[in-house]
Structure formats: structure tokens, C-alpha cells
């Protein structure tokens, strides 16, 4: 899921598992954040003098006419002070990753873009809309960017309602789904091109849709009360730059 190589059936099964196990959602969101942070680290080629420096550090007796990179690096790291230094650095990196994981999980309830999308920053603010229509109150926030659409929904329903997101499964797929719910009347139903949520009381939902192709696509959100449509609006993902 994190490397976006899963098939449509695998994505459906994964999202159904997340809907049944809220604790897994927290772990997945934290791993996604770490993955995004690692992906944002720039990669550099080693400086041209590095090989010569490694070879010069080898004792003459271990320098045949041709030495493999693995042998050279192993010899270079042999002195105790280097082993200690690299162990210290590795320990610091592990500690930072553990802190990030713990901090991410502790802050998931905020449903912020930074905590759930990782290091991706929006160039423009999220658009918002407030709905007050008996028996519901809802705050919707969404953001469209090339090949991705983010939707957040904070819903308060005095009586059971159904929220449905529909889209063309050939154009979009659900990349992330998170729910922070005080009460779940029924589990979330995932189908190709459809997400159906039966809910009541105060609940919050976070969805990320990703594009399958090179064109923009539409997600239609609808809210039903006693089988009748109360509210509907479209969201649009942007085509790639």
C-alpha cells in the first residue's frame, strides 16, 4: 500500500481490514508518514575522492591489485572508533524514527494534513464547507492537487445517516482511509467505485484518493437520511502537471 503497488482487490481487502481494526489504521498512518519523510530525503552520489580515501586507509598487505568495494568498506570500518561512531549514529536514527512513530500515533486524532499525509505540504489552503440540516451538522474540508484528492469530514448526526462516496474505479482508487468515531452503527462498506458509511452521533473521516491515469476525476459525496438524499457535492482531482 505504502509503495502504491497493490492491486485493486488488495486495496479493497486492506481498507476493509482497516475499517475493522482502528489500531491498524494508526500504525499504517505512522508508517506512511515515515515513508514520506524518507522519500523526501535527497539522494547524492558519493564524492569522487571517496574510493581513493577508502583504498588509502587499507593496510598494504590487504591491498591486492584489485579489491572489491565490500572488502574495502569492511576494512575501513574495522577500527573500533569507527564501529563505535557508526553504532552511535545508527542508534540516533532508530531513536528518531521511534519518536516520529510515537508522535504520529499520539496525534492522529487531530486529522491534520501534516500528521496523516506526511511531509507533503499543500500550496493552497484546503477548501471548506459547513452543513447544518436536521438531523446533521457537518464540516467538510478538501484539497485537490495533481493526481490526488484529500477529503476530511467531521459529521454529527442525531439519527442514523448514510454517507456515500462514489467515483469511477478506472480513474481513481482509495489510497488512505481513516475514521475517528465515537460510535459506529455499522461497518464501512468498500466496493469498486464506492465507499458507504452508515453512522450516527459524532464521527470524523479522512480519505485520500489517487489517480490511476493522466486525467482529472470526480468523487461525488452524498448524505442520505431515511433513504432520501439530503446533501450532495462533487470533488475534483486535478490532472497531472
Whether residue 178 is contained in a domain is answered as yes
User: Residue 148's domain spans which residues?
Assistant: 123-237
Whether residue 72 is contained in a domain is answered as no
Report the domain count for the chain. Answer: 1
Pairing of strands 194-211, 217-225: unpaired
Whether residue 62 is contained in a domain is answered as no
* pLDDT tens digits in sequence order for the chain, 241 residues long: 556 677 778 877 878 777 777 777 777 777 777 777 777 777 767 777 677 777 777 776 555 555 555 555 555 555 555 555 556 666 777 667 665 555 544 444 444 444 444 434 455 578 899 999 888 899 999 988 888 889 999 988 889 999 999 999 888 889 888 887 555 546 788 888 999 998 888 888 899 998 887 777 899 999 999 989 999 999 988 777 6
Whether residue 140 is contained in a domain is answered as yes
Whether residue 106 is contained in a domain is answered as no
Whether residue 138 is contained in a domain is answered as yes
- Other beta carbons within 10 angstroms of residue 109's beta carbon come to 12
List the CATH number of the domain containing 186: 2.60.40.690
Give the separation between CA 170 and CA 214, rounded to whole angstroms.
11
Q: What is the residue whose three cell numbers read 479493497?
A: 12
Do 145 and 238 contact (CB within 8 A), yes or no?
Answer: yes
Whether residue 51 is contained in a domain is answered as no
Whether residue 181 is contained in a domain is answered as yes
Amino acid at each position: 500500500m505504502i509503495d502504491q503497488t497493490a492491486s485493486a482487490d488488495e486495496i479493497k481487502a486492506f481498507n476493509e481490514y482497516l475499517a475493522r481494526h482502528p489500531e491498524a489504521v494508526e500504525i499504517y498512518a505512522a508508517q506512511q508518514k515515515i515513508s514520506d519523510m524518507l522519500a523526501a530525503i535527497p539522494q547524492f552520489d558519493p564524492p569522487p575522492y571517496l574510493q581513493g580515501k577508502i583504498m588509502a586507509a587499507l593496510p598494504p598487505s590487504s591491498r591486492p591489485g584489485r579489491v572489491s568495494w565490500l572488502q574495502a568498506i569492511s576494512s575501513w570500518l574495522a577500527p573500533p572508533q569507527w564501529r563505535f561512531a557508526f553504532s552511535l549514529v545508527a542508534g540516533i536514527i532508530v531513536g528518531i524514527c521511534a519518536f516520529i512513530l510515537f508522535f504520529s500515533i499520539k496525534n492522529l486524532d487531530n486529522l491534520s494534513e501534516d500528521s496523516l499525509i506526511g511531509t507533503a505540504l499543500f500550496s493552497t489552503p484546503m477548501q471548506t464547507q459547513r452543513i447544518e440540516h436536521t438531523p446533521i451538522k457537518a464540516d467538510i474540508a478538501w484539497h485537490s492537487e495533481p493526481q490526488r484528492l484529500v477529503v476530511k469530514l467531521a459529521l454529527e448526526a442525531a439519527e442514523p445517516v448514510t454517507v456515500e462516496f462514489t467515483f469511477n474505479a478506472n480513474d481513481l482508487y482509495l489510497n488512505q482511509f481513516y475514521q475517528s468515531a465515537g460510535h459506529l452503527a455499522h461497518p464501512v462498506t468498500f466496493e469498486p467505485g464506492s465507499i458507504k458509511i452508515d453512522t450516527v452521533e459524532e464521527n470524523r473521516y479522512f480519505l485520500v484518493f489517487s489517480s490511476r491515469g493522466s486525467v482529472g476525476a470526480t468523487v461525488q459525496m452524498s448524505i442520505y437520511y431515511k433513504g432520501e438524499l439530503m446533501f450532495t457535492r462533487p470533488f475534483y482531482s486535478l490532472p497531472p502537471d
